[in-house]
Structure 1
Amino acid sequence: MSYILNIETATKNCSVALAKEGKTVFCKEIAEEGYSHAERLHVFIEEIIKLAGITLNDLSAIAVSQGPGSYTGLRIGVSAAKGLCFALDIPLIAVDTLQVLASKVIISDGLIIPMIDAKRMEVYSAIHTSDFQRKREVLAEIITENSFEDLQETLYFVGDCAEKCKSVLTAKNHIFLENIKYPSAHEMSLLSYEKYKRNETVDVAYFEPFYLKDFLITAPKK
């Protein structure tokens, strides 16, 4: 019996899910403007383990959302996941954040374009088919009125970029599913279990989040 703890902190949503054989047993999450991940994450983990009536020693693996996304959020999630893996001597599984976000969409045809805010008019995005196959790699791109103009299929946009992008992406085949805003650990459950069965794990010591862009520290303005 495989219990996997899934951790998703790449966006404003601090999300934790416990999965059994790929199915979510319990999920706790909260999306707040102030990024409360550091305060909430370990509390959520403890609460979920207690609710399930198991201990951390019953876990078979830890899965973490690998990015792209918030630098701080990713560091918090990955640090927690690594610490648990080291302490419990269990494998670490990395799951693509945009794939997690795309997995929240249920459509019969067309393309899914998950997007995560990267400030100003830039987003982290990918393109997936309706059965969640990757059609285009993850990019950091600036959205303009010409973005995605080569795609004739119906495009379903999800993520936390709707407010700033829907005034630019106005073609008839552009549909914004504004109720799907953040990735969740709930959708990680099946993705991480499939990787677990294929033994697709990462090196706990050397794994780093997929930031996509360098994190720049700038001096405060005088």
Structure 2
Amino acid sequence: MKESRENGIALMESGDYEGAVAEFDSLIDQTTRVTSFEIDVLKYRGEAEFMLGDYGAAAYTYDTLAKVDKPRAEYYYLGAVSLANSGDQDGAENRLESGKSADAKHEVTGYAEAMEALGAAYMTAGDEEKADELYQTLVDEGFSSTEVYNRWMMAAMEKGNYEEALQHAEAGLALSDDRAKKEIAFNQAVCYEYLGQYEKALELFRSYEEQYGQDEKADHEIAFLVTR
């Protein structure tokens, strides 16, 4: 069984998530009681299901872990991310609340990721106000990141609040975290374009390409702006 688990991990590392899930399922089917080994296998299965894009299955696995192991906050947070990615905002919010109940100080890894994922789900559903509330909460609680500011920026842009979006861009670009600076830089130029400040937008798109390389979308914007 240990060899089978290692094979499943190797399949995950090679990118064969479907094969990994099948391997882990086979192991789970062989079990008659839950030990630390089975819990470990379930964790790998949840990760493989998530990477496969089978978010409903991943959420089910993390829910199972919360029942057969301990109701750990990390399981609820991972379940929340999975459900948010599947478009189930209500389910994700319920899992998030369960995680917060087990993690009053928000010290467990996964809290910010769950909040970000839920915010993105609300954005996709067209509820920018709800997304805005989540991003404001993250920043107020000290979980600022370029990813948060980029998502917050996009929420403002969806509402047509380009000045507000630019404030989020400035705050995000000031961080040392580089995770989403490329996206922020592009969206910053878009905001100036929508505000009718074409020279500034053109300058920023050119600067974007100098820093991040030629980009088809940026090329298209530059071609448009040089005619303005």
Give the TM-score normalised by structure 1. Answer: 0.30
More helix by share: 2
- Which structure exhibits the higher relative contact order, with contacts defined as CA atoms closer than 8 Å and separated by 6 or more residues? 1
More strand by share: 1
Q: Which has the larger radius of gyration?
A: 2
